[in-house]
Amino acid sequence: MSGVYAYPQGATAPPNFTSSLGFQVQTGSATVAAGDYAYIQHRIEGYRVARLGWGGVSAQPITISFWISASIAGTIAVSVRTNPPNRSYVVDVPLAGGWEYKTVTIPGDTGGTWPKDNSVGMIITFAAMVGATYRTTANAWQAGNFFGSASTSNFFPSGLNTIYLTGVVVLPGTEAPSAARSMYIMRPFDQELALCQRYYCKSFPAGVVPANAAETQAYVGATVTTTQITSQRINYPVRMRAAPTVVFYSPGGGVPANGQWQFLNVAFAFNNAATALYYGNDAGFASILTIAGGTFGIAYALYGGWTADTRL
């Protein structure tokens, strides 16, 4: 696709909401080729949607509610797909411009195979531009990968057009909260944080963006050989969806190099240590550092930062 897009979080929001996800075009696409598309999608874990019974005769419907604001009028496409995306249901949603509260109900799919484990169980997509390859007939389950229809507008024909999305709720059944009550459908912060940490967590404080030299955190390690040192086990705050990808961050710039932990209580010469994953699973990990030397059996303090990512 020829367009260039950005997805910033902004303070633009309807009453009683504090922020929204922006969908902004920087370089528009006046002509939509067959394979072009522009969308926001959200993936839901299979365990969370298993009770819907999709793929069986007792499949139950879901209702999606959301607030949306578009800089121009048109029709957006809301869709639900399986993973891999070979079953699709598309709904056309007209937008007049400005903040609007919308609800759509998707009937349960009695066909297809819908994962019911820790993999992607459902993909919800909000499409603002869709080429012919990914268009289908709306309001019916289809075999294939579709997230738009012939009615889907091109909301980004030129620069500076925007769509803002917030307050997205997915509920089993055919009912959704009213617009006046939609802002109350939210969990307490501590509960929401624990759910998010199943997919992503970090050693950095909540308000600190992970980066080299952004924060230090000490761990205790013991030398394994004269050239390696292994940290104690680092436990995640909650059990994660799967064994995550761990990224290391140095406590300072220059020495050690970016992405490397540092020794706290040894000579400067030992600070140039290459940090790697020693072992890890969905509960925690230990790191291993290659060093220039050391004394077997001596405990060393290590410090640095990390992130663990197993997002869908």
173-177, 213-217, 232-236, 269-273: least confidently modelled range: 269-273
The model's pLDDT over 186-239, given as tens digits with 9 standing for 90+, comes to 899 999 999 999 999 999 998 899 999 988 777 777 666 667 778 888 999 999
Mean pLDDT across the chain: 89
Whether 245 shows a pLDDT value over 60: the answer reads yes
| Helical residues (DSSP H) of 3-82, grouped into ranges | 46-49
Q: Residue 153 and residue 156: Cα distance in Å, rounded?
A: 9
pTM: 0.90
Domains of the chain as residue ranges with CATH: 4-186 (2.60.120.260), 202-309 (2.60.40)
Q: Alpha-carbon dihedral of residues 189, 190, 195, 198, nearest 10 degrees?
A: 130
Q: Is 106 exposed, middle or buried (0-12, 13-18, 19+ CB in 10 A)?
A: buried
Burial of 171 (0-12, 13-18, 19+ CB in 10 A): middle
Are 197 and 303 in contact by the 8 Å Cβ rule? The answer is no
